Structure 1
Amino acid sequence: MARVAELLPDFAAAAAEYDERAEIAVGHLEALHAAGADRAALPERVGGGGLGYRAFGELVRMLAKADPSIATIWTMHVGAGVALAELTADTLGPFFAAEFLAGRRFANALSEPASGNRFLNPQQEAHAVEGGWTLKGAKRFVSGAEIADYLLVNALVDGVPTFFGVVPDDSVIVVPIWDTLGLRATRSQLLDFDDTVLRTEFRGRAPGPGDFAVIPAGLPAISLGIADAALDALVAHARSRVILGKPLTHQQWVQHEVADVQTKLAAAHALYERGLTQADAGLPASFPTLVRAKYLANKVAVEVAQLGVRVGGASGYLKRSPIQRHLRDAEAGQLMAYSTEVLAGEIGREVLGVQPE
């Protein structure tokens, strides 16, 4: 953790530049690997350092505060790498774990244009061929797709969601449509699979209890890190901006609004830490807690960032200000599966006792 912390000032200093160019900070990802972050995140049972949920969540939050695009790519990279090592543990798991530890790049290619948030339940059918199956279709928002050595892909095999490792080849096409509002440096591209072969030996089992749940554990931390950075930027601006002879911090409306968002942010942090602690203890309650943590973190991040724009005024609206970038990045968290709308429905039904249809 200390070695990663040493990298964060450089990550933060370059974040705006990479965002402006919509360019992946490959060197920063390589520095994370060299600092041991990948090894730490890989579970011990598949040859890694076995970082616990609380430590993993704190690492992602730290990264997201410095550069949320780096945090997003790294979380998805770890999610795909760990999943392939665990889901194929009885076959090629040691190979994928070794590649992950060697610094190869992994990416999640699960979300389909027609399946919405239900990325673990693909709608696209894979068709049997010699040596495996073929997939024809698209996967969207594949963070770090252009630098990935391996993809985690799913498709329906005989009507059952099935997971595969895929080595990108000429049949995997990056569709050049990337022109996003926030998290620009993730370059989370749309991939077109043109009869891509899903090889039998690269097939894995379905995710299950006991697997390291990287994505549910990591996504709330991305929004929390963005919110932390947005609040810091808001405070710095309010302290430096003088209105009628006094810093903006003396304005009562600013004090009241900051009290409101800071309290909500503290509550989101506490809920998230509770979910991570439950996950470390192996408690089934951890998943619903992390679901609520993502929901709250997504909404609070947007509230903090929006207040930053209000407090920043015209100067906060300028492109050179970090305030506008925090707002754009905060909005992206609400769209990551599961989106706040989907989570609200699930949480509401659970609280109200509405049985799923």
Structure 2
Amino acid sequence: MSSAQVGSSQGVGEHEVLDRVAELAVGFAADAAGYDERAEIPVVGLNALHDAGVDRAVLPRRVGGLGLSYQSFGAVVRILAKADPSIATIWVMHAGAGVALAELTGDSAGSFFAEEFLAGKRFANALSEPGSGNRFLQPQQVAEPVAGGWSLTGAKRFVSGSEIADYLLVNALVSGAPTFFAVIPDESVSIIPIWDTLGLRATRSQLLAFDNTVLRAEYRGRAPGPGDFAVIPAGLPAISLGIADAALAALVAHARSRMILGKPLAEQQWVQHEVADVQVRLAAAHALYDQGLREADSASPAFFSTLSRAKYLANKVAVDVAQLGVRVGGASGYLRQSPIQRHLRDAEAGQLMAYSTEVLAGEIGREVLGAGSPPPSP
């Protein structure tokens, strides 16, 4: 379906979804600092998103949802991330796992998982392994054959919202090939209590241990492929962009209200020059991201490459904007009650999410230079 067809057949519904998200975001922003301070999953906000129809919207039409366009999906995540990036992160990972299981198990249990997603059950993405780095689609842990499926012993890290998840999307090597499964957490799946992160504290992205967990044959899925809705690659740049938007807004508010020698800090030339630099680069990151979303809606094969570049730039710019906020905020921006320090902590997290900025820099550089063979798939 072309982007024009998407707009004509789904535009009204998508506008309604965006309006609902914008309304909810006001409350999310007001509560974000408290959830961050307590490192508590904002369950109320996540449930409100479901009740507002946002889960139904992101689920593709072919598996029973509204079929949100990539452009509208990106707008949803940016709105959420500006208000509370922890909510945005958990929701992107929840949507990524739920949509993937509905699509990847389409020939077996896909309709079941689509119905569970629409019913408000919680999903979490458990793909990243301690020993595999950023290559979250290339697991190193081997699942051994057992009655009814395969058995997995190992660990998955940074599983956002895992403590409230009804279903996990998990991968492992089966006969040497990366294979995807739905897992219903049971006593064989445990949380390793190490969560004490610097930023995005309310995601509670835990490390999970699997002890002879059965990967059931009927919950086995195919590998991701062309045509699947790429929730996570399309969502990650938006998280950093939303954080950067919030950081810039906080910086501007402080510079306008802070008086130095009888004049607002905003009138100092160095502040104006620095703000001009980060604002222009942030606008460029938004434009690059929007290009990637348009390419995705038109099924252009270039969209993954463009979104990778958008993530790289968004991650870097978010940190730069947040760091400038601390400089402009001075000592008051360093206080715990200031949103400026929270934006700085949250901005750093985007660079660590797969693919990290270092991995992306290598891939982009090799592509531009035509140097060497490409690395394995993610």
TM-score range, shorter chain: over 0.9
Deviation at 1:261, TM superposition (A): 0.1
Deviation at 1:3, TM superposition (A): 1.3
Matches within 5 A, 1:79-228: 79-228=96-245
2:342 corresponds, among 318, 321, 325, to: 325
Map of 1:67 onto structure 2 = 84
The alignment yields a C-alpha RMSD, in angstroms, of 0.5
Runs of 4+ aligned residues of structure 1 deviating over 4 Å after TM superposition are none
Matches within 5 A, 1:30-49: 30-49=47-66
Q: 5+ unaligned residues in a row in structure 1: which ranges?
A: none
Once residues 354 and 148 of structure 1 are traced to their aligned partners in structure 2, the CA distance between those partners, rounded to angstroms, is 42
Partner amino acid for 1:330? A
1:246 corresponds, among 252, 257, 263, to: 263
Q: Secondary structure at the match of 1:342?
A: helix
Deviation at 1:243, TM superposition (A): 0.2
Deviation at 1:355, TM superposition (A): 2.5
Q: Are positions 1:298 and 2:339 aligned together?
A: no
Deviation at 1:8, TM superposition (A): 0.8
Once residues 96 and 372 of structure 2 are traced to their aligned partners in structure 1, the CA distance between those partners, rounded to angstroms, is 30
Partner amino acid for 2:338? S
Q: Are positions 1:52 and 2:69 aligned together?
A: yes
What CA deviation, in whole Å up to 9, does each residue of 1:40-60 have, x standing for no partner?
000000000000000000100
What CA deviation, in whole Å up to 9, does each residue of 1:222-278 have, x standing for no partner?
000000000000000000000011000000000000000000000000000000000
Q: Provide the identity percentage.
A: 79
Q: Secondary structure at the match of 1:217?
A: helix
Partner amino acid for 2:113? F
Deviation at 1:176, TM superposition (A): 0.7
What CA deviation, in whole Å up to 9, does each residue of 1:108-147 have, x standing for no partner?
0000000000000000000000000000000000000000
What CA deviation, in whole Å up to 9, does each residue of 1:289-308 have, x standing for no partner?
00000000000000000000
Q: Secondary structure at the match of 1:277?
A: helix
Q: Secondary structure at the match of 1:51?
A: coil
Partner amino acid for 2:315? N
What CA deviation, in whole Å up to 9, does each residue of 1:285-327 have, x standing for no partner?
1110000000000000000000000000000000100000000
Q: Secondary structure at the match of 1:121?
A: coil
TM-score after normalising by structure 2: 0.94
Map of 1:276 onto structure 2 = 293
Q: Are positions 1:350 and 2:367 aligned together?
A: yes
Once residues 3 and 66 of structure 1 are traced to their aligned partners in structure 2, the CA distance between those partners, rounded to angstroms, is 14
Deviation at 1:356, TM superposition (A): 1.9
Once residues 4 and 296 of structure 1 are traced to their aligned partners in structure 2, the CA distance between those partners, rounded to angstroms, is 25
Partner amino acid for 1:128? P
Map of 1:24 onto structure 2 = 41
Once residues 86 and 356 of structure 1 are traced to their aligned partners in structure 2, the CA distance between those partners, rounded to angstroms, is 31
Partner amino acid for 1:182? G
Once residues 97 and 24 of structure 2 are traced to their aligned partners in structure 1, the CA distance between those partners, rounded to angstroms, is 23
Name the count of aligned residue pairs: 357
Once residues 341 and 294 of structure 2 are traced to their aligned partners in structure 1, the CA distance between those partners, rounded to angstroms, is 33
Once residues 114 and 287 of structure 1 are traced to their aligned partners in structure 2, the CA distance between those partners, rounded to angstroms, is 25
Partner amino acid for 1:36? G
Partner amino acid for 1:307? L
Q: 5+ unaligned residues in a row in structure 2: which ranges?
A: 1-17
Once residues 305 and 261 of structure 1 are traced to their aligned partners in structure 2, the CA distance between those partners, rounded to angstroms, is 10
Partner amino acid for 1:250? E
Once residues 239 and 129 of structure 1 are traced to their aligned partners in structure 2, the CA distance between those partners, rounded to angstroms, is 65
Deviation at 1:354, TM superposition (A): 1.1
Q: Secondary structure at the match of 1:125?
A: coil
Q: Are positions 1:261 and 2:317 aligned together?
A: no
